[in-house]
Amino acid sequence: QQQVKQSPQSLIVQKGGISIINCAYENTAFDYFPWYQQFPGKGPALLIAIRPDVSEKKEGRFTISFNKSAKQFSLHIMDSQPGDSATYFCAASIKGSSNTGKLIFGQGTTLQVKP
């Protein structure tokens, strides 16, 4: 119930196309859903995050869609560019009185955007 399942494991998209990465969870106590972008040999960087009180959040070319009833959320990268080639992780956090901030990560998706 603590898991976050991410798909696909790898994705190849043409430049200018839309990249879509999906995540699913079971625990309805999750209240925070961030996406991280990681380049090879670097630490992950926070890309965009959403809370369950909204169904969509957009920042530039990056959009999170959130479906609370289906317990799914996805990252859409519009007009994908070669510079977007990286590994993307979804994550979820459990709300609790102690508020540890612990994140549960998906397995990651390696995105390659072809020129």
Q: Which residues bind another protein (CB under 8 A)?
A: 6, 9, 31-32, 34, 36, 41-46, 49, 51, 89, 93-95, 98-103, 105-108
Q: Which amino acid is at 72?
A: Q
Cα–Cα distance, 68 to 33 (Å, whole number): 11
Which of 17, 105 has the CB closer to another protein? 105
Closest CB 15 distance from another protein, rounded Å:
25
Cα–Cα distance, 68 to 28 (Å, whole number): 9
Which of 84, 88 has the CB closer to another protein? 88
- DSSP annotation of 91 reads E
Cα–Cα distance, 69 to 88 (Å, whole number): 24
β-pairing verdict for 30-38 and 45-50: antiparallel
Which of 34, 80 has the CB closer to another protein? 34
Closest CB 111 distance from another protein, rounded Å:
14
Residues 6+ apart with CB under 8 A from 40: 87
Closest CB 107 distance from another protein, rounded Å:
5
Closest CB 79 distance from another protein, rounded Å:
25
Which of 36, 66 has the CB closer to another protein? 36
